[in-house]
């Protein structure tokens, strides 16, 4: 059996190198994030979540939508271990995770995971939102081990 690699603590990429661009469909998500409130676009007619947000529901074609507040917990659906900062090329261990959000009909979000060593991340691991301040007053949802 191969010896597992010890990457060490998983960190969040520095906020100053991350920029957010919004449009009318995504603005409510990012405004809620500024208030440290996780939301997702949900069809008001049939209840289906649609993330990324879209003007029309792919299930029932309704234009109606709402933005319910979600618990901010979930489980790791998928992940990767990265060892270099993509902006600088310096050694920097981070773990981009795809998280299935609790209570949101299978909605998944991508973020960085902290709170454990990178080599200890597993599929199905329970996580919770960790808010990271980034440029221009925006706030990015990341995750930490629950
Ligand atoms: Zn619908």
For the record, the structure tokens of 146 come out as: 């629950």
What's the CA-to-centroid distance between 84 and ligand 1, angstroms?
A: 41
Asked if residue 54 is part of any domain, the answer here is yes
**Cα(99)–Cα(123) distance, rounded to whole angstroms?**
9
What's the CA-to-centroid distance between 54 and ligand 1, angstroms?
A: 11
Asked if residue 4 is part of any domain, the answer here is no
What's the CA-to-centroid distance between 35 and ligand 1, angstroms?
A: 27
Asked if residue 48 is part of any domain, the answer here is yes
Asked if residue 16 is part of any domain, the answer here is no
**Cα(40)–Cα(102) distance, rounded to whole angstroms?**
11
Q: What CA dihedral angle connects 45, 38, 17 and 108, to 10 degrees?
A: -60
What's the CA-to-centroid distance between 111 and ligand 1, angstroms?
A: 27
Average pLDDT over the chain reads 94
What's the CA-to-centroid distance between 70 and ligand 1, angstroms?
A: 19
Where in the sequence is the domain holding 122, given as residue range(s)? 21-145
What's the CA-to-centroid distance between 64 and ligand 1, angstroms?
A: 8
**Cα(23)–Cα(46) distance, rounded to whole angstroms?**
24
**Sign of the Cα pseudo-torsion (69, 74, 78, 80, in order):** positive
pLDDT band at 15 (very low <50, low <70, confident <90, very high): confident
Asked if residue 13 is part of any domain, the answer here is no
pLDDT band at 37 (very low <50, low <70, confident <90, very high): very high
**Cα(92)–Cα(120) distance, rounded to whole angstroms?**
16
Listed in sequence order, the residues at least 6 apart from 4 whose beta carbon sits closer than 8 Å to its beta carbon are: 119
pLDDT in tens, 98-140: 999 999 999 999 999 999 999 999 999 999 999 999 988 999 9
pLDDT band at 16 (very low <50, low <70, confident <90, very high): confident
Asked if residue 3 is part of any domain, the answer here is no
Distance of CA 3 to the CA centre of its chain: 31
What's the CA-to-centroid distance between 62 and ligand 1, angstroms?
A: 5
What's the CA-to-centroid distance between 58 and ligand 1, angstroms?
A: 7
Number of domains within the chain:
1
CA–CA distance from 61 to each of 40, 47, 49, 141 (Å)?
18, 12, 13, 29
Asked if residue 109 is part of any domain, the answer here is yes
Asked if residue 125 is part of any domain, the answer here is yes
pLDDT band at 1 (very low <50, low <70, confident <90, very high): low
């Amino acid at each position: 059996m191969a010896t597992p690699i010890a990457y060490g603590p998983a960190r969040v990429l520095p906020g100053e190198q991350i920029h957010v661009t919004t449009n009318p469909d995504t603005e409510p998500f990012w405004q809620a994030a500024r208030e440290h409130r996780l939301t997702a676009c949900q069809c008001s007619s049939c209840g289906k979540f649609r993330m990324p947000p879209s003007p029309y529901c792919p299930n029932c074609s309704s234009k109606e939508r709402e933005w319910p507040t979600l618990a901010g917990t979930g489980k790791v659906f998928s992940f990767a271990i990265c060892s270099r900062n993509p902006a600088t090329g310096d050694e920097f261990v981070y773990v981009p995770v795809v998280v299935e959000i609790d209570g949101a009909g299978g909605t998944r979000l991508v973020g960085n995971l902290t709170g454990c060593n990178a080599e200890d991340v597993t599929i199905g691991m329970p996580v919770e939102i960790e808010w990271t301040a980034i440029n221009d007053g925006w706030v990015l949802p990341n995750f930490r081990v629950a």
